[in-house]
Amino acid sequence: MTLPLSYSPDVAEARAKGLPLVALESTIITHGMPFPQNVETARAVEAEIRAHGAVPATIAILDGTIHVGLTDAQLDQLGQAQDVMKLSRADLAVCLAQGRTGATTVAATMICAHLAGIAVFATGGIGGVHRGAEDSFDISADLQELSKTPVTVVAAGAKAILDLPKTLEVLETLGVPVIAVGQDELPAFWSRASGLKAPLRMDDPAAIAKSHRLRGALGLAGGQLVTNPIPVEAEIPRAEIMPVVEEALKAAAVQGITAKEVTPFLLSRLFDATEGRSLDANIALVLNNARLAAKIARELV
């Protein structure tokens, strides 16, 4: 059957000319922040990628079609859409079959990016092992996807609401390269420090791109996780943010919040508790990741 895949004019032109492309997810638009700030942020991230020599490709499912790159009108449409599915590997095909609209998580964005021939993806933070996973078995599909799909993912680490040591252990078991940029410590999303040593360090975008190519040449499945620390001026230090995270986790447990609803609930609580600083930091780190992803993508063309 013919795959329901559509390219925006900018992305189609970039593909035809062999220009560097950077994939972007869409859950940050539909589940991350309210309109119009969600659309404004998405446009700022796209502009940052263009400013650093690459072409952005925001990925979303609109009316049962995978859109790789969104026009201004489509971005506005998605930013205000209701009842948008939050898509991972498990429900991507169902959303397409039912002709629905869906926003892509890290896992689904990687799948669609690979279908479109895009090797680099910039996001905020990946999912991972949730606190208490030894009982709940709540582990994000993002980790398995990193072990299967050959896309280099640039993130500020795993979200700090997760169990970071267990997340790192699962990535190691799955054979996913976890690379820190500019420091030896694994960053922790809003904070530059996690207390965990990164397994690998690479500071040069050209070397990261070469590693991506060599994984393919070696026949190694999966991608790379490039953990890029939030800029110093934008970070919320770990000693400050973690007590707030612990309170939010307790509130989620009391209210019985589970599965895909956990992360949006916790991010909302953190926004309130930090008087918006957590969202400001989130935007700053996504922009920072977009810059690095564009540099890596340029080295791959």
Count CA atoms closer than 13 A to 88's CA, side-chain side: 13
- 247 classed as catalytic: no
- 148 classed as catalytic: no
Q: Which residues pair with 180 in a beta bridge?
A: 201, 227
Asked whether the beta carbons of 58 and 24 are under 8 A apart, the reply is yes
Count CA atoms closer than 13 A to 291's CA, side-chain side: 12
DSSP at 204: -
Length of the chain: 301
- Give the list of residues 6+ apart from residue 54 with CB closer than 8 angstroms, or none: 19, 20, 21, 22, 293, 294, 297, 298
- The amino acid occupying position 158 is A
Q: What are the φ/ψ torsions at residue 144 (nearest 5 degrees)?
A: -65, -40
Active-site residue, from 46, 159, 235, 295: 159
CA atoms of 181 and 163, how far apart (whole Å): 21
Q: Active-site residues: which are they?
A: 25, 159
